[in-house]
């Protein structure tokens, strides 16, 4: 890609002016009178400006931005700036311990935040999905380069070791540094190539995640070993046991606790930064715990990130704000400082240059060979193993963090640190073109193609993108029916549900009088049944109940601020005397602008609201909202005993609908039915279809309910603009005359009256 230098001139001039300003300011007085705060600000400004500028340049040529941030530090350090202009370099980056402590403190916070971000990007579902192959690959990919690095550490010249008597620790550190891949770099390149959902892409990323996790555990144990200065088997065993206990508690009790804390902050605190504050406190607390058990704080920060990333209500806005802070401030400062600490002028020594070349060669061959062998053992083809090995060879940010920890602990010398940073930069820069070339040649199998098509449909779909449901209920049978349907929607993926009771006193009286199953119990039971039908590990829905003393509209509006994708309404009275919706439903929905689902229990569900529907009917047409209704019907039909009944009905609005499907060479009506049937088939749902195109839609739907003996009809409807809730005449007619239960599903847009 051609680089337009003209666009970069403002940034270059800004750096030059900043350098000149700092140099001029420093020339006015001696070092004793210069402000440490001013120097710190100048250091941060330079590291951000140069690092982010070069990161932008690297991204334009297909390289990760972290390479630019590392190169920025190298250019500002003794490798170039300090070599060309020593006096100015010493002025901006003085050697005084006090001044270095200021920027080092920011860098240490940066390490923890970087590990938090890495953990948040860790997809445990992906690891579980391809866990067996990924584990084999990761173990082989770590063992081989670790052995090579350890062997190299055992034969390094004494001049490269800061403490020759602690060669074992240095060798262990070097072996770890050579064996770990950078999950961040790997994930970015795989995602940029649109290979994240390919089989081999998932295995590459999952293997890198396991690499990172094992690596931080190893680092934690080595840190404990190094802090004691000797190989104390009992102490190492205690550190290892403490680490295992910490991990076990984190992924059991801790997972639940983190989710509840984030949900509590999101639901109860009014500050816009409340969730980010809780996340930072969690990171600090878990990092402190790992420090107390004798291992490095990076393990606690990494695991905190994993648990935070698993939280189902971590909104995109919160994630982006936290990621933006880390990427714009702490990443360029930390990696720039790592570059500053690396002095590439040591490579002028032929012996050091030769050792660096050997280090790069051993690291690349060891990692590539280990990952390739692991791929073969994991059942991958030769082409897949080659792509895997190419991707796993990137060290990137992970390597630099490990090297920085080793330098701060006194395990690595300045020269050895510079050699490792050089290796990290070169292996990372070599990875993207190698991986792109390897992935581009991989064939697409039939099963993989079908899975990708299904996931592409889900990505554009409604149900698959739900993250959090709000259930507004009273104490009627209809409330339990709505709760049952909400549980079925939430169960497969374990979506959290907030149950908002309208009339808390009535709820207590009703439960005390009848002992009927509560909406919360209906949600949980339906979710478990749905998860068992899907067999994908869901079903553990988190249900929170709320009872507001405010008016229904205000209560819903207040809850809606916390971020919900769908409001499910279950009230005793659904329709009013004028044929429209009951006044309470009108009030409830007026405070919610997103998608709605309004349930009306009839027939068998009026007396047994939590009974699974035997036969579900969904009318479809060419509109997007009808497809939304079909998606919901497909999700509910997984527990139905009979095939899903799909009937095409024509509406004035659907005439001339765009034909986007390859099957549109058929008649439009048949093509729409075929598309819905194909979508259902991807989830192993049997479908029966019928055309009723020449009949008024409300008549066609009511006739089909009778003919098919359906006990639930799901209709996608438009929300029409007006003073009261209105889904149009068809929905009103079906709601009023249907003998089967009805679920009306609307989108979040309000359509003007026509």
As a CATH number, domain 612-754 is 3.40.50.620
Question: Residue 655: which of 622, 696, 698, 693 has the closest Cα?
Answer: 622
Cα 137 from Cα 206, distance rounded (Å): 10
How big, in percent rounded to 5, are the helix, strand and coil portions of the chain?
Answer: 65, 10, 25
Chain length of the chain: 754
CATH 3.40.50.620 domain locations along the chain: 454-575+582-589, 612-754
Tell me which fold the domain 96-440 belongs to: Na+/H+ antiporter like fold (1.20.1530)
Residue 361: both structure tokens together: 């060669």
H helix intervals, 492-582: 504-514, 519-534, 552-560
- The full DSSP string for 301-328 is HHHHHHHHHH-TT--HHHHHHHHHHIII
pLDDT at 281: 92
Residue 260: both structure tokens together: 């509840």
pLDDT at 459: 66
Cα 744 from Cα 569, distance rounded (Å): 10
Place of tokens 């000149």: 20
Residue 183: HSE in the Cβ half-sphere, 13 Å Cα cutoff: 29
CA–chain centroid gap for 464, Å, is: 15
What Cα–Cα distance (Å) separates residue 203 from each residue in 122, 131, 428, 432, 450? 13, 8, 19, 17, 18
Query: Hey, which CATH number is domain 454-575+582-589, 1.10.10.60, 3.40.50.620, 3.30.720.210, 1.10.8.10?
Result: 3.40.50.620
Question: Residue 680: which of 656, 657, 714 has the closest Cα?
Answer: 714
- The full DSSP string for 101-126 is HHHHHHHHHHHHHHHHHHHHT--HHH
The model carries a pTM of 0.68
Q: Are 457 and 675 in contact (CB under 8 A)?
A: no
pLDDT at 655: 45
pLDDT along the chain (754 residues), means of 10: 50 55 52 64 85 83 77 81 79 78 82 80 70 79 87 85 81 83 69 68 77 74 68 67 86 87 80 81 90 77 85 67 80 79 81 88 87 84 84 73 79 85 81 79 73 68 80 86 86 80 54 60 77 57 75 79 85 82 85 88 88 90 85 87 88 47 58 84 84 83 90 90 84 90 81 56
Using CA atoms of 260, 263, 268, 269 in order, give the dihedral in degrees to the nearest 10: 110
Do the strands 741-751 and 596-600 form a parallel or antiparallel pair, or are they unpaired? antiparallel
10 contact partners, CB below 8 Å, separation of at least 6: none
Place of tokens 């099963």: 447
For 51-59, the CB contacts below 8 A with 24+ separation are: 51/331, 51/332, 51/333, 51/335, 51/336, 52/328, 52/332, 53/8, 53/11, 53/12, 53/15, 55/332, 57/3, 57/8
CB-neighbour burial class of residue 227 (10 A; exposed 0-12, middle 13-18, buried 19+): middle
Using CA atoms of 192, 193, 195, 200 in order, give the dihedral in degrees to the nearest 10: -110
């Amino acid at each position: 890609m051609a680089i337009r230098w003209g666009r970069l001139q403002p940034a270059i001039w800004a750096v030059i002016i900043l350098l000149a300003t700092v140099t001029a300011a420093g020339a006015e007085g001696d070092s004793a009178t210069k402000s440490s705060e001013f120097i710190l600000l100048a250091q941060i400004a330079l590291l951000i400006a140069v690092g982010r500028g070069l990161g932008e340049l690297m991204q334009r040529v297909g390289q990760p931005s972290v390479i630019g941030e590392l190169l920025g530090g190298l250019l500002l350090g003794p490798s170039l700036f300090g070599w060309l202009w020593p006096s100015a370099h010493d002025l901006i980056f003085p050697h005084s311990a006090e001044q270095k402590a200021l920027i080092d403190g920011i860098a240490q916070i940066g390490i923890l935040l970087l590990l938090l971000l890495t953990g948040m990007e860790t997809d445990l579902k992906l690891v579980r999905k391809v866990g067996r192959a990924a584990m084999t690959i990761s173990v082989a990919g770590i063992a081989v380069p670790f052995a090579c690095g350890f062997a190299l550490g055992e034969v390094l010249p004494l001049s490269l070791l800061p403490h020759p008597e602690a060669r074992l620790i240095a060798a262990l550190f070097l072996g770890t540094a050579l064996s770990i891949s950078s999950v961040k770099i790997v994930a970015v390149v795989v995602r940029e190539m649109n290979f994240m959902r390919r089989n081999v892409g998932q295995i590459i990323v999952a293997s890198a995640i396991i690499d990172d996790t094992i690596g931080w555990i190893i680092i934690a144990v080595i840190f404990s070993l190094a802090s004691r200065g000797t190989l104390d088997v009992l102490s190492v065993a205690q550190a290892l046991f403490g680490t295992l206990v910490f991990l076990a508690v984190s992924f059991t009790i801790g997972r639940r606790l983190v989710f509840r804390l984030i949900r509590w902050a999101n639901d109860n605190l009014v500050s816009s930064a409340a969730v980010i504050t809780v996340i930072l406190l969690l990171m600090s607390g878990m990092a402190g715990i790992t420090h107390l058990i004798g291992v490095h704080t990076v393990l606690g920060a990494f695991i905190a990130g994993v648990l935070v990333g698993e939280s189902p209500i971590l909104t995109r806005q919160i994630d982006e704000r936290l990621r933006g802070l880390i990427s714009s401030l702490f990443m360029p400062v930390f990696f720039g400082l790592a570059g500053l600490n690396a002095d590439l002028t040591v490579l002028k020594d032929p012996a050091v240059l030769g050792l660096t070349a050997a280090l790069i060669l051993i690291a690349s061959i060891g990692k590539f060979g280990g990952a390739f062998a692991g791929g073969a053992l994991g059942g991958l083809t030769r082409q897949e193993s080659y792509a895997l090995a190419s991707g796993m060879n990137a060290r990137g940010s992970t390597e630099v963090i490990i090297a920085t920890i080793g330098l701060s602990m006194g395990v690595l010398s300045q020269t050895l640190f510079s050699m490792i940073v050089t290796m990290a930069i070169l292996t990372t820069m070599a990875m993207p073109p190698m991986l792109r070339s390897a992935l581009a040649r991989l064939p697409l199998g039939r099963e993989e193609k079908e899975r990708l098509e299904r996931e592409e449909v889900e990505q554009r779909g409604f149900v698959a993108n739900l993250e959090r449901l709000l259930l507004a209920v009273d104490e009627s049978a209809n409330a339990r029916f709505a709760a049952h349907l909400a549980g079925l929607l939430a169960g497969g993926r374990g979506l959290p549900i907030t149950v908002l009771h309208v009339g808390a006193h009535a709820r207590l009286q009703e439960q005390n009088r009848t002992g009927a199953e509560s909406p919360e119990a209906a949600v949980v039971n339906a979710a478990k049944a749905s998860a068992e039908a899907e067999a994908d590990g869901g079903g553990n829905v988190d249900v929170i109940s709320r009872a507001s003393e405010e008016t229904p509209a205000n209560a819903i509006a207040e809850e809606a601020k916390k971020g919900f994708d769908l409001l499910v309404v279950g009230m005793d009275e659904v329709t009013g005397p004028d044929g429209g919706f009951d006044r309470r439903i009108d009030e409830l929905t007026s405070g919610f602008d997103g998608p709605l689902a309004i349930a009306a229990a009839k027939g068998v569900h009026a007396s047994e609201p939590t009974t699974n529907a035997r036969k579900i009917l969904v009318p479809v047409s060419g509109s997007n909202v009808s497809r939304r209704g079909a998606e919901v019907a497909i999700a509910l039909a997984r527990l139905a005993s009979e095939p899903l009944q799909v009937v095409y009905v024509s509406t004035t609005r659907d005439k001339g609908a765009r034909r986007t499907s390859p099957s549109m060479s058929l008649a439009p009506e048949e093509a729409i039915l075929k598309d819905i049937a194909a979508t259902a088939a991807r989830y192993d749902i049997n479908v029966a279809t019928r055309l009723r195109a020449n009949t008024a839609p409300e008549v066609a739907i009511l006739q089909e309910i009778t003919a098919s003996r359906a006990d639930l009809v799901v209709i996608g409807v438009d929300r029409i603009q007006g003073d009261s809730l209105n889904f149009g005449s068809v929905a009103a007619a079906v709601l009023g005359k249907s003998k089967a239960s009805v679920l009306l599903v609307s989108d979040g847009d309000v359509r003007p009256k026509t």
